[in-house]
Amino acid sequence: WGFYRRRILHGERNFPPIIRWDAESYLDTLQLPSTIALAGWYVGNFVGSTWGSDYNEFIGRNFGGRTFQVCNTIVSPKYWGKGFGYQLFMERLYRAKEAGFTRLIGEFREGHSLSLVLRLGAKEIKALPNWENSGENYVRCELNLGKFERP
C-alpha cells in the first residue's frame, strides 16, 4: 500500500471533493478478504487503479448471492481515451468472475465509466442525480458476469 498510496490518492483529484476516498477508506476496503485491487502501468508510468469487493462485505449486510461491488476505477488524465480504463475494468471483471462472483454492481459516472459498462451490457438500476451532493450524475448499474470469458 505504501508504494501505491500517493499515486492512488492523487488520482482521487479527478473526483469532486465530497466523494473522494481517503487513505483510511482505501485501507478498510483493501482489508476485506474478497477485495480485488489492481494497478496499471505503462512504460514505467502509473496509469491508474481499480478495485472492488464482495457487495455483502462492503455494505456490511447479507443480501445473498455473489455480487461484486465496484468501488472505483481511476485513470490518470494523461491516459484518458487510450483504453487503459477499459483494460483495468476488464481485468477486474475477469478476476471477479474467476473468484465466483456472478454479477457486478456499482455507481458509474455519466460520460465516463457509465458508457463503458453500458457497452458491456449492464442494466441501469437507478439514476443518481447529484450523487452524494457531488454535483455530478451517476447511475447504479448491474452487469451479469456469465457471458464474459477471458480471451
pLDDT for res 58: 72
pLDDT for res 57: 77
Q: Which of 32-41, 50-59, 132-141 has the lowest mean pLDDT?
A: 50-59
Band (pLDDT 50/70/90 cuts) for residue 112 is: confident
> pLDDT tens digits, residue range 62-94?
666 789 999 989 999 999 999 999 999 999 999
* pTM: predicted TM-score of the whole model, two decimal places: 0.88
Strand ranges (E), 56-122: 67-75, 103-109
Cα dihedral sign, 117-119-121-127: positive
Cell of 2: 505504501
Parallel, antiparallel, or unpaired for β 67-75 and 103-109? parallel
> pLDDT tens digits, residue range 116-131?
999 999 999 999 999 9
Look-up of cell digits 451532493: 133
pLDDT for res 2: 85
> Percent of the chain at pLDDT above 90?
77
CA angle 38-112-139, nearest 5°?
100
